[in-house]
Amino acid sequence: MAGSNNKAARGLGGAVRAGVAHLFRPGAWFRGNAFPENAIAASAIRRGDEGYNGNQKQNIARAIEDIKRQYPGLPVVKKSRSGSNSVAHVATSVNHRTGEVLGQTVVINTAASFWKNPRAEGIKMRRAGWLASASPGHVVRHELGHVKHPPTSALRRSSAPSNAGRVSRYGRTNGSEFMAETYGALRSGQRFPARVMAEYRRLQAATKPNGARNPKPQRVSPRPFLPN
């Protein structure tokens, strides 16, 4: 019996060592907020492909469907911008006198290579620490974060909080990207330390447009995830 216990203990110890081995390989130590593939959030595994596949046109249609399900009245346009690093962005019209948001439009860059394989691209960008979640739908949820927290000039000019690096490298760009990255990651199943959430709420209160209300997404049942 004792021999069996020792064998089980050695097996467990080996599993633990294998699970953390990537932390001690030369050059594999965390760089900023970068994570190796086996250390990314489990939410990406749970979510699977989220209905995305290897068909670029279908993936773009899937993204637009997600946006429309949450914000039925939100305009979405498709533009081909070859050579641009942008996958999608939110165009916001603001009354510069009052700060009130007059309108928003989501613009999808149909030429972005991301749409060829959102799952693989999401994992790659998460491993580099660029995005806050490896979920293939995170890019869409990031843009809806801009809808929820309109990227007004005040928010874009605001510096990223001191804990933005705990969210993602992109979140360190400015206050607007920090808010969108945090919102998108939360909707993707991520969890952040209390200090990150405190800065998220503080920045929201400090930069909310005068006289404007954050739009409320539709309450919808999650779409069943398709098998890989």
Q: 167 near 41, Cβ under 8 Å?
A: no
- Look at residue 35 and tell me if it is in a domain: yes
Question: Residue 87 has what DSSP assignment?
Answer: S
- Look at residue 136 and tell me if it is in a domain: yes
Which residues 6+ apart lie within 8 Å of 50 measured at CB?
62, 118, 119, 135, 136, 137, 225, 226
DSSP 168-206: -SGGGS-HHHHHHHHHHHHHTT----HHHHHHHHHHHHH
Domain hosting 144: range is 31-207
Closest-CA residue to 122 (of 143, 137, 107): 137
- Look at residue 41 and tell me if it is in a domain: yes
| Count of the separate structural domains present in the chain | 1
- Look at residue 25 and tell me if it is in a domain: no
- Look at residue 138 and tell me if it is in a domain: yes
Q: Along the 228 residues of the chain, how does pLDDT read in single tens digits?
A: 555 555 545 555 554 444 444 444 333 334 434 444 444 544 455 567 889 999 999 999 999 999 999 999 899 999 999 888 899 999 988 887 777 788 899 999 999 999 999 999 998 898 888 999 988 999 999 999 999 998 888 888 899 999 999 999 999 999 999 999 999 999 888 889 999 999 999 998 888 765 455 555 544 333 333 332
SS (H, E, C) 38-84: HHCCHHHHHHCCCCCCCCHHHHHHHHHHHHHHHCCCCCEEEECCCCC
